[in-house]
Amino acid sequence: MPELPEVETVRRGLAPAMEGARIARAEVNRPDLRWPFPERMAERLTGARILALRRRSKYLLLDLDTGETLLIHLGMSGRMQVSGAPVGDFYHPHPAPLKHDHVVFHLDGGARVTFNDARRFGAMDLMETAQEAGHWLIRDIGPEPLGNDFHETYLAARLAGRASPLKTLLLDQQIVAGLGNIYVSEALYRASLDPRRAGRSVTSAEVSRLVPVIRQVLGEAIEAGGSSLRDHRQADGNLGYFQHTFRVYDREGAPCPTPGCSGHILRIVQSGRSSFLCPLCQR
């Protein structure tokens, strides 16, 4: 499942082609993905100008001049790729249509943005822009970890008194937006914190160490184009590269990269997900 850096990378890749463009024609090739598309979606999108392309947690949000916002979730295998317009230093011609091209945005300048999703775990919905805060997928999401509302005082308060494991709490989207398995594992390693510790056991000093580390890991991942383990591609079709700098994630049995540490990376299972840590460095 794409995490915050992957979705932000896609947003940045799409923005030059989509922001300010008018959707000359929206092509919807099936009735649903994870759930049914909104009524008359193609009709409501066709002719609309895209005022802004934003990200909230793991969702892309396209603000339209019709007063509506299109919400997009990439799911497990969803990709949005630009063709017919420059992307970075390259120009990508329109490819032949593929079997899983479920939604296609034909833009007025000749560019095309295609949403392809082989597993169909992605989703789209249309909502009134003014009502975004109350949308059922948005309303309970916590603060963005790269925003001003996520800080040491806030996180300490959310962890206080909680018996759940620290990693489980950081994955809770109501506590902090957009964090997933990869980046929580990497951040806890860099902050020298054991993912199995109860949230209430984390001291204020440790929280003060953790918050900037979370920001650092996410920033590095965004600059690297995210992590490509299976399905993630950037808007130009290229892979992300952050997986080449993983220190613990998916490195079970490898030596701990901390200089002087004799430990090896351990894999454990928490709430059905793999966690990776150095049992000597992380306390």
Q: Which domains does the chain have, with CATH numbers?
A: 4-134 (3.20.190.10), 152-277 (1.10.8.50)
Determine the pLDDT at residue 242. 53
* CA-to-CA separations, 214 to 2, 15, 24, in angstroms, rounded: 17, 25, 40
The b-or-e profile of 62-74 (16+ CB within 10 A means b, else e) is bbbeeebbbbbbb
Determine the pLDDT at residue 223. 84
127 membership: H or E segment, kind and range: strand 123-128
| C-alpha–C-alpha distance, residues 22 and 66, integer Å | 11
Q: Terminal CA-to-CA distance of the chain, rounded, Å?
A: 28
Determine the pLDDT at residue 172. 97
Out of 3, 8, 132, 206, the active site residue is 3
259 carries an active-site annotation: no
- Please answer whether residues 143 and 56 qualify as being in contact, where contact means their C-beta atoms are separated by less than 8 angstroms: no
In 3D, which of 252, 246, 254 has the Cα closest to residue 228?
246
Which phi and psi angles does 72 have, rounded to 5°?
Answer: -130, 130
Instruction: Give me the average pLDDT of each 10-residue run along the chain (283 residues).
Output: 87 93 97 96 98 97 98 92 75 84 95 94 97 96 97 98 98 96 94 98 98 95 66 49 74 95 96 94 95
251 carries an active-site annotation: no
| C-alpha–C-alpha distance, residues 7 and 178, integer Å | 9
pTM: 0.89
Vertex 80 angle, CA 4 and 53, to 5°: 65
With left for phi above 0 and alpha for psi between -120 and 50, is residue 253 left, alpha or beta? left
Residues 6+ apart with CB under 8 A from 115: 72, 78, 79, 80, 101, 102, 103, 104, 105, 122, 124
Out of 11, 58, 158, 251, the active site residue is 58
99 carries an active-site annotation: no
132 carries an active-site annotation: no
